[in-house]
Amino acid sequence: MTDASKAQSMLRVTSVSKSFGGLVAVDDVTFEIGDEEIVGLIGPNGAGKTTLFNAITGVHPPTEGTIILDETELTGSKPHEIARAGVARTFQTARTFDEATVVENVAIGAVFGNGDSKARAETRAYELLEFIGLDEQSHDPVGELNIADRKLLELARALATEPAFVLVDEIGSGLTPTELETLTETLERIRSERGISVFWIEHIVDAIMGATDRIIVLNQGAKIADGTPAEVQSDQQVAEAYLGGVEV
Ligand X SMILES: Nc1ncnc2c1ncn2[C@@H]1O[C@H](COP(=O)(O)OP(=O)(O)OP(=O)(O)O)[C@@H](O)[C@H]1O
Contact positions toward ligand X, by CB under 6 A? 20, 23, 25, 43, 45-51
Residue closer to ligand X, measured from CB, 45 or 178: 45
From the CB of 47, what's the least distance to ligand X, in Å?
A: 4
Single-letter residue type at 89 = R
46 vs 141, which CB is nearer to ligand X?
Answer: 46
C-alpha pair distances (Å), 43 with each of 191, 215, 248? 23, 10, 10
Q: Minimum distance between the CB of residue 246 and ligand X, rounded to whole angstroms?
A: 9
C-alpha 87/C-alpha 6 separation (Å) is 16
Distance CA 11, CA 61 (A): 16
DSSP H helix total and E strand total for the chain: 9, 10
Distances (CA, A) of 15 to 72, 222, 223, 247: 17, 10, 10, 28
In angstroms, give the least distance from the CB of 170 to ligand X: 7
Distances (CA, A) of 212 to 18, 38, 45: 26, 5, 20
Considering the complex, state which of residue 221 and residue 229 has its C-beta at the smaller distance from ligand X. Answer: 221
- Whose Cβ is closer to ligand X: residue 49's or residue 84's? 49
Question: Which C-beta is closer to ligand X: that of 41 or that of 128?
Answer: 41
CB of 162 to ligand X, least distance (A): 27
Q: Give the number of C-alpha atoms closer than 13 A to the C-alpha of residue 240, restricted to the C-beta side.
A: 7
CB of 29 to ligand X, least distance (A): 11
Residue 161: C-alpha distances to residues 70, 81, 101 (Å): 17, 11, 18
Please identify, using beta-carbon distances, which residue of 54 and 77 lies nearer to ligand X.
54
Smallest gap from Cβ 18 to ligand X, in A, equals 8
